Amino acid sequence: MHIIPHSHRVYLMGDFHGHTERLKEKLQEITVAGGPSALILLGDYDAHTASDIDQLKDLLAAYSVDYYLLRGNHDNPLYWQDRGISSLFEDSYFHFLHELDCIQWGESKILTVNGAVSVDRTCIRFDRGNCWPDIEPVPKDAVDQIQKLREQHGEFDVLISHTGIIIGKTIKSEFTKSFASTDETLLEDLEKERDLMQRIQIASGVERHYFGHFHQSWRGEKYDTDCRCLDICEIIRPGYNND
């Protein structure tokens, strides 16, 4: 269980995807607002190697903010799934959120869930190496883990994940079909993940769910839960007027 002091302002930010100048602008806005702050980042830092992690950490260190990083599908799972390795990078301001993790902020309990299926999982990403199709999606045992976490920590108020469900967004879009032509199980796996995210949302018992992954700003309601998708580098304060 990570602890964010009640005195901190908490912010969420959508996928990074290398938009360094935009990230700097957002971090500047947070620091100008004053007071202690924590930023929960929803993933996709294109963090493939230790060098990538170090560069991201150096960038974030320039601002007096505490950081909590979810894993996106474009991030090497090694640095989130192996606690021994992640501990080598963590310090007082830089924290990895593991596959299913918990944050206590004042009276609020936050549940976090990593990962997503990559539509380009059979491709070589730029010049940086392969995807991690076997270990990058949402953990298959997430629902069972959530039940155990609720027994251990009590009820959760907020769910934050890398991926989620946008009402009306079809899996069989032209974008996904273009990759499915060379990945025969892609559409089936995306359907399974959509079903898993539905079960995760229900099992979490939360009132609010925030996620990124889809590169758009969207808000809707699913299973009596207020759902919010954040665009690339979009930043909000959960529970406030801009949420």
pLDDT of residue 240: 65
pLDDT at 241: 58
- In this structure, which amino acid lies at residue 224? D
pTM of the model: 0.95
pLDDT digits (tens, 9 = 90+) for 115-172: 999 999 887 665 556 688 889 999 999 999 999 999 999 999 999 999 999 988 888 8
- Looking up tokens 């474009």 gives 74
| 87-111 residue pLDDT tens | 999 999 999 999 999 999 999 999 9
Q: CA 201 to CA 217: how far, in whole Å?
A: 19
- What angle separates helix 186-204 from helix 142-153, to the nearest 10 degrees? 20
Query: How much is the mean pLDDT over the chain?
Result: 93
- Contact between residue 234 and residue 22 where contact means Cβ atoms under 8 Å apart: no
Residue 224's nearest CA partner among 159, 144, 139 is 159
Q: Are 165 and 201 in contact (CB under 8 A)?
A: yes
Residue 199 pLDDT exceeds 80 = yes
Confidence band (pLDDT; 50, 70, 90) for 239? confident
User: Is residue 66 very low, low, confident or very high in pLDDT (cuts 50, 70, 90)?
Assistant: very high
Question: Following DSSP, what letter does each residue of 160-225 receive, concatenated?
Answer: EES----TT--SS-HHHHHHHTT-TTHHHHHHHHHHHHHHHHHHHT-SEEEE-SSSS-EEEEETTE
Domains along the chain with CATH numbers: 2-236 (3.60.21.10)
